[in-house]
Structures are given as C-alpha cells and as structure tokens.
Structure 1
Amino acid sequence: MALVIPAVTRLSPRVIRVLGCNPDVKTLQGTNTYIVGTGKRRILIDTGDSDVPQYINHLRSVLKYEKIDLAHIFLTQSMPDHSGGLNDILEHLSEYTQFCQVWKFPKYGDKNIYQYFEDLKDGQEFTVDGATIRVIHTPGHSPDHVSFHLLEDNAVFSGDCVLGDGTAAFEDLDKYMESLQELLNIQPKVIYPGHGNVVNDPQERIRYYLNHRVERENQIVNVLSTHRVRSFSETELVSIIYTDLPEKLVKTAEFNVSNHLTKLLKEEKVKKYNNLWQYNGEKCIC
C-alpha cells in the first residue's frame, strides 16, 4: 500500500511538495506540485486541478509561512490535473504572483487557453536562489510533456513520465521509451513524480518501466501469433493479458494496448482490419 502523502511536505532544503488535493483513479492521491528554491523568489512546478480551494489554501499557507513569492510557474504539460489550477493561483494568490512568469512547452492550440505563458525550450536553464533547473523535453505521455532537472541535487521532477506508484499512460510509445532512456542517462539520485510518492530508486524504477513496456509488447505479439486465424479488439487483448485488473483501470489498459499496437503496426508486425488486430505472419488470414 502506498504511503499517505501529507498536504505539505518539505522534501529537501530546496523542495517543498504541496499536494493538489484532487485524488482520483488517474491522479492517485492527487497531483504533486513543488516549490523549488531557497530564497525569497522561487519556482512552482505544476498547479493541480481547477476549482480546488483546499489546494489554494495549502499553497497560500506555505507561501505566507516561508515569506516567499513565485518568480516562475512551470507546467510539465497541458493536462488539466497539472495545469488546471493556474488561473486560480493567479487570481486568488495574486499577492504572491504579481511578477511571476508562466512557462510551458509549446503545443498546438495552447495559446487559446493560456494567453500569458512563455515557451519552454529543451535544455533551457533557470536559476533562482538555491536552485538551477534544466528543462528536459520528455514527450510520449503527451507531445508537450517536459521534466525538470534540479542540478544542485541531481533530482528530476518527472511529471507523468515516471510515477511514484504504478506505471504511466502514454500516447506515443516510441517517444515515451526515448524519454525514459533520456532520464535514465541522467542517473538522477531521486525522482519527484507528478503523482505518488518520491522515487528513491530512480534508475531501478526507470529500468522497470522500460522492461515492463517490452514485456507488455511481447505479451501482445504472443497472443496474436498464437491465434493467427483470429482477430482481436483492444478490449479482448486486455482481458487476456491483464489478470485481476480493477474495472476502473480497464480503459487506461486499453489505451496503452492500443498504443502498443500502433507501434507494432508501424513496424509491420501486426495488421489492422475492420478495427481488429492480427499477427502479420505468413499464415495470417485477413
């Protein structure tokens, strides 16, 4: 069972975690947001969901107690559970965000939602007292997803690329695997995830993620190759491959299997016919 995450936790002299208070099947105990730095002006990574007064109150309490304000707000992505609370923060905590810049990696259509953010760039660095943060573009979960490398502690804020509990969903498996490998190459000492508890064995966790995706792909190929005369839907594959899967996670599993199949289709290892999937072998009947 996952350890309970308190509303506010000082994780290191440079990092304070404020829980987004938005528990859900996909957000686990809620979205982790992080205040980074040691001086008067600091960085906030992610903003939680919209319309969560409890989160705004906790964030206000930390800013007031620490006697700090925000120089920058970084968004790991445009998903609502990471960016939705932005307007609430700017509106209700304006005394702490008066001279704050909002940053996110660009994605088509963003400007219609956020008129006031600046574009992050891969490799870009930001400095506040006590903290230097480097931007790492880590697509796969979403095209605009980024992680942040806190250089002083060799810590990574991984957003939804690596979670504290369970495995992550993704839109593009190839890019996601590349992003995991990039994080592994950094060899971080700790990962602060977008959801779940702190990852204190980051290299082992990332390797597990990489191996897990390869194992899942092999499972899909094995089912299709074993039943070459049959065609399968994503739902059927999930029911065969996943054992004891809670009903609330079935849609997420189907989404991941669908993305595995898309990758296999590009590699011509499977065929798609009438929205059903078959092994692309010599004996495959379509």
Structure 2
Amino acid sequence: MSDMNIVDYFEIAIVGCGPAGLSAAINGAIRKKKVGIFGTDFCSPKLHHAPHIDNYLGFHHITGEDLRQRFLHHVEAMELVINQSKVTGVFPDEKGFILQSRDKFFSAKTVILASGVSTIKPIEKELEYLGRGVSYCATCDGPLYKGKKVAVLAYNREGLDEANFLSELATEVILVSLVKEKDAQGIHLNKNIKVVSGKPLGIVGELWATGVALDNGEIQADGIFIIRESVLPDQLVPGLNITKQGITIDRSGATNIPGIFAAGDCTGAPYQLSKATGEGQVAALSAVKFIDELKSNTKLTNSSESLAVSLQL
C-alpha cells in the first residue's frame, strides 16, 4: 500500500465522534499526540435527542443537546477538527494502519474504534457475498464493473452520490433508494440510472452475487453496492474479534489486533454516557502507551545495531 496517495498521518486515528470518540480525542491530544477524528456531519444524534440527563457527574438535569455542545466546544477549544470522511476500511500497513474513505487514504500508528452501537442488520447472504459481487465502496470497486450492470442499495444521501459516480462507469445503474425525500433534496440523478421501488431482502447468486431479492420482485446485476451510514465493525476491520455483545476488548481497551483499541457503545452494554467517556479515556491512554513503547523499542534496536557495528570496526 506504499504507492497510494496518503492525505494525512496521525498517531491516533479515532473512528467515531460520539462521547467515547471525543473523550479519546482530548485525552490523546493532552498527551501531545497527533489525533485525527473521523465522524459524520452531526456527531452523537443519540445524545442530541436525550431530553435530560441526571446521571452524568457534575451536570445534574442537563439536556442532551447542551451536553453535546459542551463536548464539541471542548474539542474545538483544543483545536481538534472532526473529519467528515466516512471510514470504509482499516487495514494493516508497515507504518501501522491505513484508513480508507472513498478515494482518500489516511495513515495512523494506532486506531481507536468508537463507532457506537450498531443498528445495522445485514440483508440475507450480504456478508456471504461480500467481495464476491457485493461491495460497500463504489470508489474502490466501481472500476471493476466498467461497461457492466450494477445495482445500488442506497440507505442514505451518500448512496445517491455513489449511484451517480457508478453511472459514469457502468452501462446501467439500478437504484433502490431508501432515502427519505427531504434527505435527497438537491441531488439530481444521471439519465442512465433506473430507480426501482422495493425493500431489499437478500442477495441472490451461486458462487457470485447475481442480483437482489426485493419484497416486490427481483433485480439482476453484475455487481451490488450497499451504501449505509456505517460499516459493521468486523467488516470495517478484517480479523477483528466481535461477539453479539460488541467488539471484544480487555481492560485497557485493546482488541485482538495490536494497535487497535475500542471504546463506548460498540464494546457492548451498559450503554451509558459515563461508561463511554471513561472507556474513551482508557483507550486513548493505552494507545499513547503503545506508541511510546514502539518508539522506545525502536531506539533500543537502533542503539544495539550501532553498538554491533562499532564492535565490528
């Protein structure tokens, strides 16, 4: 992956801008690490909708929106910026990890997953055909379907944009839009996009995906692109250990992959604000320790190599 265009480098990259992610961000920044936050255009809608909060220490009967604004102001005061690029994949690299967001790539020494509790329910056989005709990223895999017929299952506004992008490559794009009318305002679809109605039920195919089963019929396609607000954690990070409760972590917030940590609702119950911010802090401190130990080991190795060379001379 060394030949790709890296947009920016971070010592700690945080996926998610809810309470856990923002807590991790400020604690990483306080320890003088370069922190990158990846989130949506509206951080923590769950907190925004809370009428009032009584169990967050020091803030009795505060509204969820007031507390959300305090969190964001804290981050802004520390000159941290929330990157509104949706991360679609996290992959190991010789320098740590590569985070992919459409056609952009970011490099990070460590990663903290703070994506919140997932409400995603994959449609039938979606995961079975992932990488075999099913994709979550049009920019990544779209060129594979140049001159072919593709289907786009759009669960958000981004899905409509991705359909337009694919229409410039494919001969035909069949769009199944589950986007609310108010959220689709301002987007004009290209002429070779065919919009069909229906609720996606599952992927059909044999060795390779060949179409999508809807509640009112079936559509055929050479490739199927599923565009949602977020990606399931184990699909975001290949090899990540998860259970029905959430991402598996130890008391330091470490996952089964060295250098990747997790915090907040994505690690399981209880789904509480204090737990999320506390785990965010723990994950950040663990990431800092991981980075510092890597630097110490590198210095030790370099010193040993220099001594070996001098002895040979």
TM-score by length of 1: 0.33
Structure with the larger RCO, 1 or 2 (CA within 8 Å, 6+ apart): 2
